Copies of this chain bind each other. A is one copy, B any other.
Amino acid sequence: MGRIPESAKQVFKGKIFDVWQWEQTMFDGTTATFEMLRRPNTATVIPVVDDKILVTVERQPNHTQASTTIPGGRCEPNEDSRVAAERELLEETGYTADDWHLLLATQPVSKIDWTVYVYVARNCRKLQEPHLDNGEEITSKLVTFDEFLMLADDPTFWEQHLVPLMLRARLNPVYREELHVKIFGV
């Protein structure tokens, strides 16, 4: 993955996206203006409740269709991704947990400096009702591990960066077992 170099200058600051440009030396020694974006990192969580996974069904104001997804949202500036994941889990589902593990950290788009963190939160328990903001319509439901893996075939499933991992688990029993241990601890 290319990353934004130290020499880059910020040329635009938006609501979500910042734009950075720099002079890049090409293979023939000439230079060209290169451009990349930065956006707040995303923290998501696979919440484990007993032997099930708590998934969410979300609708957004500019989308007509509801999406199946997992709890998560933007990290605040300088906020630890784990803290953001805990906050989003509590706000969107009312659940909390003490047993956290980082499953995956991925950069989904080559020209965007943007990391998506996927945590596992084991032994989740309901603490309160969800606190949704005015851009969220979210409900949650419990699914089995197998039902979760089948969500890779749901065209509305939001977490496309998890799809390869879910398909690999269905393809390879050893990998399925490893993923089960990573999520459930057993």
Contacts and interface: CB of A to CB of B under 8 A. Distances in A.
Interface in A133-183: 134-137, 152, 158, 160, 163-164, 167-168, 170-171
Contact of A37 (B17, B21, B135, B152): B17
Contacts of A164: 152, 160, 163-164, 167
B34 A62 contact: yes
Nearest to A11: B14
A30 interface: yes
A80 to B, nearest CB: 23
A2 B35 contact: no
A28 B135 CA distance: 8
Interface residues of A, number: 44
A138 to B, nearest CB: 11
Interface in A1-45: 1-2, 5, 11-12, 14-17, 19, 21, 24-28, 30, 32-35, 37
A128 interface: no
A45 to B, nearest CB: 19
Nearest to A20: B14
Contact of A15 (B15, B21, B134, B163): B21
B111 A24 contact: no
Most interface-central of A5, A35, A61 (chain B CB within 10 A): A61
8 contacts: A5-B62, A14-B19, A15-B21, A15-B34, A16-B111, A24-B61, A27-B61, A110-B158
For the complex of A and B, 6 pairs with smallest distance between CB atoms: A167-B167, A2-B62, A26-B134, A12-B12, A15-B35, A28-B134
